[in-house]
Each structure stands twice: as C-alpha cells, then as structure tokens.
Amino acid sequence: MTNSLWYPSVEDVITIHDDIVSEYPDTPGGIQDRGDIEFTLSYVEKGSFGTTPETIHQKAYHLLRLLVANHPFVDANKRTGLNTVVVFYFLNGYRFNYDDEIRTILKQFGTDEAAVDEEETIEYLRSHTEELDLAGEMEEWRDDLVQYGIDQLTGDSSDPNH
C-alpha cells in the first residue's frame, strides 16, 4: 500500500498554507520550522523510531496530528493540517466528509495532543471517508479538463467573450 499512495511534498503543504493565508487577510503567513513539515511528511510515508503508520487512516491521523501539534507555521496550522488531509485523502481515492467534531480534534491537537485518543480519532477518520471512483470522477470532468488543457496550450482565455 505504501508505494501506491500519493504523499504531499513540503512545497505542497506550503502551497496549501499560502492559499489559506491568502483567503484570510487577518491570518499572518510564514513558516516557523520547515523541519517540522519535513519530519511530518517523512514520518507519514516512511515511519520513524521503528514504527510506521500502515493504513491510509493511520497516515492521515499522523499527518493531521503532526501538522497541528508541531505548529510549523506562524498561524493557520489547524486549517493547513485539515486541508492537507483532505487533499491527501482525495488524491489517494477517498473523500473526507468531516463534520463539526473535527474542530474538537484539531483544538485538542493544537493545545493538548496527549488528550486525543489515537484509536478513536482513526476510527473517526475511517468512518468519515468514502472511496471515490477516480476514473468516474475524471470522466465526469473530462470535457472541462480537455478544454482546460487546450486553453493552456493555445494561451486562450477561458472567458467566453474572447
């Protein structure tokens, strides 16, 4: 399973963070510790200290936990962690349909990581995801994707008035 999964890069996580910051003018941007992001991504993919998260849900749990608890960014760590997990799931063929309970989990990770029950949280992640038919999703968006590709190649605007 490990080899077949997509994992975010440091740049992917920073891009997600920067996108969040751009949407919220009162949120200061900036990285406090790039090493924390690197450690998080390495741990999720390869493990550390003799342990490796095995399932996609265990990996998502640690991705969320470490991005929030280690505070690698000046601000928006919880939003960055959540959005990174949403993208991680999606690009691995799952839709994460979280609800308000995620706020409690994020807050606990941010303030008292030890208060979060790992097994309960992994079960929450498992029970709030559904497998996607990525081929079906791609087919549904096929015409739009083809047109986007053509527009990129020809430099045409997607503005219908041109």
* In the chain, where the domains are located: 2-131, 133-162
Say what the pLDDT of residue 39 is.
96
d(CA 87, CA 102): 16
Angle at 138 between CA 1 and CA 159, to 5 degrees: 135
Helix, strand or coil, per DSSP, at residue 157: coil
- What is the CATH T-level fold of the domain 2-131, as seen in this structure? Four Helix Bundle (Hemerythrin (Met), subunit A) (1.20.120)
Say what the pLDDT of residue 3 is.
53
pLDDT digits (tens, 9 = 90+) for 115-136: 999 999 999 999 999 998 777 7
pLDDT digits (tens, 9 = 90+) for 29-46: 999 999 999 999 999 999
Say what the pLDDT of residue 151 is.
83
d(CA 39, CA 37): 5
C-alpha distances (whole Å) from 23 to each of 29, 65, 83, 102, 110 are: 11, 23, 13, 20, 21
- The 10 Å Cβ neighbour count of residue 156 is 11
Helix, strand or coil, per DSSP, at residue 130: strand
> Dihedral sign, CA of 137, 143, 146, 148?
negative
Say what the pLDDT of residue 127 is.
98
Low-confidence ranges of the chain (pLDDT < 50): 1-2, 161-162
